[in-house]
């Protein structure tokens, strides 16, 4: 009987610990810590850009990132692209830093998997982010879907798939959905292709222009200490 009571007490203590670990605030803190552990990376990528007014060939090259917001893409052939500030190609740029208010939206199903949905509201008045809503795979501590609203750059939706680099919260594939009224792709992305074909605008159509960027990461070199000079 004494062993039974000890066993029940241990199970109760474990259940209490797990319950505390799954509070919304602690879940977000653990998630943000995991994401921000990556201070820089170099990755070979294939990038597909799909916009309503332009047919752009598949882009291949190397993407460089250094926290918090330095990014550079070198296309195969040596041509470099510095994405505009409002083209946020990494999850770390969409997760508010500093003090935040977390709203637990509960459990849900996403692509056949159980996830936890959190709303994240920055407390910092200087933050460019109004609200971020994230779908979290708790078992793997990964964001599989994110919807972010900013003050000046509209809204952005991101789907993420993980495999080899899940321990660093680095995806193998990201698909970004954007409203082109709010997001401006760099001219070097949309116009510097010899084979890029513009689509003439239709004056009769006044529908919002939509676009997607799909990035497949072939491999990463993580936390190698990239110098600032790499991004000049």
For the chain, domain boundaries? 24-197+207-225
Q: Under a CB-based contact definition with an 8 Å cutoff, are residues 156 and 176 in contact?
A: yes
- Are 210 and 66 within 8 A, CB to CB? no
Contacts of residue 126, Cβ cutoff 8 Å, sequence gap at least 6: none
Provide the pLDDT for residue 81: 60
| Topology classification of domain 24-197+207-225 | outer membrane lipoprotein receptor (LolB), chain A (2.50.20)
Burial class (CB in 10 A: 0-12, 13-18, 19+), 141: middle
User: Where residue 79 falls among pLDDT bands split at 50, 70, 90?
Assistant: low
Closest CA to 177 of 69, 63, 87: 87
Q: What's the Cα-to-Cα distance from 130 to each of 96, 180, 188, 214, rounded to whole Å? A: 9, 19, 29, 24
pLDDT tens for 132-168 read 999 999 999 999 999 998 887 778 899 999 999 999 9
Interval 178-214: pLDDT, tens: 875 654 554 444 334 444 444 444 544 555 567 888 9
- Confidence band, pLDDT 50/70/90 cuts, at residue 83: low
């Amino acid at each position: 009987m004494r062993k039974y009571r000890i066993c029940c007490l241990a199970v109760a203590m474990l259940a209490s610990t797990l319950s505390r670990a799954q509070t919304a605030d602690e879940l977000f803190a653990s998630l943000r810590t995991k994401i921000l552990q990556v201070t820089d990376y170099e990755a070979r990528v294939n990038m597909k850009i799909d916009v309503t007014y332009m047919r752009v060939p598949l882009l291949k090259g190397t993407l460089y990132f250094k926290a918090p917001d330095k990014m550079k893409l070198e296309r195969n052939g040596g041509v470099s692209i510095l994405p505009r500030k409002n083209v946020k190609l990494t999850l770390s740029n969409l997760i508010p830093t500093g003090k935040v208010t977390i709203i637990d939206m509960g459990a849900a199903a996403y692509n056949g998997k159980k996830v936890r949905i959190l709303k994240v509201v920055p407390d910092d008045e200087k933050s460019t982010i109004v609200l971020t809503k994230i779908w979290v795979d708790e078992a793997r501590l990964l964001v599989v879907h994110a919807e972010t609203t900013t003050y000046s750059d509209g809204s952005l939706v991101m789907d993420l798939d993980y495999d080899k680099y899940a321990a660093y919260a680095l995806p193998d594939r990201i698909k970004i959905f954007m409203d082109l009224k709010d997001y401006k792709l760099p001219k070097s992305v949309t116009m510097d292709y010899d084979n890029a074909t513009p689509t003439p605008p239709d004056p009769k159509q006044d529908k919002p222009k939509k676009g997607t960027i799909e990035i497949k990461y072939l491999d990463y070199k993580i936390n190698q200490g990239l110098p600032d000079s790499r991004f000049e």
